[in-house]
Amino acid sequence: MLSPSSHPQHSTAGAAKNPVPHTDAAASGDLCCEGAVGGCGEGEAASGAEQDETGSSCPTPLSWRGVLKQFHADATPAIVQRDGYQLYCRSWGSGDPLYFLGGFSGTSELFALTASLLRDEFRCVLFDEFTAEPQPQLPPRQVSVSQAVDDLFAVADHFHDDVISLYGASVGGGLGWAAMAARPDRVRRAALQGAFAHRRFSIAERTLMSVAQFFPARVRNVPLWASVHKQNHSLWFPPIDGSRWKFLVENCGDVPLRVIARRAALGQQIDIRAQLSEIRQPTFIIRTEGEGRIASTCQAELIERLPSVDDVWIDNTGQIPYLTHPHRLSKLLKPFFHGEPLLVADNVPTAAVDIAASPFARSTETHDD
């Protein structure tokens, strides 16, 4: 179920305060749209037996293997040279440029399913700061916020994109705000999920960042990582395709610890709270179940202080909807990036509770990505 904004002063998506996660008949239809409930297979989708939150028939669930194969076959690859390191990029589709900014973990391939649904209307640009093929090529251990913003626009310059739109997740969302504040002339609009203007890290987290920079291991070698990762994310994956969960685990587990530490250190530096009132571009904050108290607090601040913002709550997707429920996410993104009214169901709930009180939020409050 898609719930409207908790900030009626700004949102065009609805007027309810503090949207609440819930389950009802419509929510079951939402789950159907990624095969997350039994009895919603290709036949039911084709016959129109179920509908998603926009009233459309549920699509056939995507095959991530087929999408990745097509992505690597059709997307235009590029390597952008920076000072002492490289950025590994792919451009896929046609239309206005839409740049994807990744989170703390994983690679840009995690966006491929959502990009596959947007590429007929937008040229989707995905990039990473490292590659494992044919041999590991890692970026510097430290990067400043201004350097990361310059990296983004260096990629845009390579593809001759003067003005771009952004979709960012967690630390990618924070980088998105920084880019909008630094270069307002180059960012048209941005949809950001799990984003923050500033995020405090605990002493333990900061210590781990410092130590992890010098370890040659990969994420999968960290004790208990697999268990914590499963607790945070597996609940939201559509059971019709268990291999999609395996794809996430393998993708995130293969990232070098040094890269994770670099991204976390970047996230620690981001602080644009004093500039929020100056960000005039249309922005769209996407909130999900499992985002946790830290992310909830950060996004509430953004909703309160940004002058031009819509925000939407989507349940049953978890913190990585671009992989778990790409159809639902793409149906939200398309109208926003086209500058059209947001698509919202008519039967949104009127009851409200603080999102941080959700049992799902409590269970993952320190794991925002």
pLDDT in tens, 3-55: 444 343 344 343 333 333 333 323 333 444 554 433 333 333 322 333 444 44
User: How far is the first Cα of the chain from the last one, in angstroms, to the nearest whole number?
Assistant: 22
Query: Cis ω on the peptide bond leading into residue 134 (within 30° of 0)?
Result: yes
Tell me, what CATH number does 68's domain have? Answer: 3.40.50.1820
Report if residue 27 sits inside a domain.
yes
Distance CA 344, CA 293 (A): 25
Radius of gyration in angstroms for the set of CA atoms belonging to the chain, rounded to a whole number: 19
Report if residue 102 sits inside a domain.
yes
By residue range, what is the domain housing residue 262? 2-363
**Contact between 59 and 29 (Cβ < 8 Å):** no
Distance CA 167, CA 337 (A): 10
Q: What is the pLDDT of residue 344?
A: 58
Q: What is the pLDDT of residue 136?
A: 65
What pTM, to 2 d.p., does this model score?
Answer: 0.80
Report if residue 279 sits inside a domain.
yes
pLDDT tier, 176 (very low <50, low <70, confident <90, very high otherwise): very high
Distance CA 261, CA 214 (A): 9
Q: What is the pLDDT of residue 293?
A: 82
Q: For residue 260, which amino acid is it?
A: I
Number of domains the chain contains = 1
Report if residue 368 sits inside a domain.
no
What are 254-295's pLDDT values in tens digits? Answer: 999 999 999 999 999 999 999 999 999 999 999 988 777 888
Distance CA 107, CA 115 (A): 14
Report if residue 335 sits inside a domain.
yes
Place of tokens 């028939």: 57
Q: Find the mean pLDDT for residues 161-168.
A: 98
Report if residue 369 sits inside a domain.
no
Report if residue 271 sits inside a domain.
yes
Report if residue 75 sits inside a domain.
yes
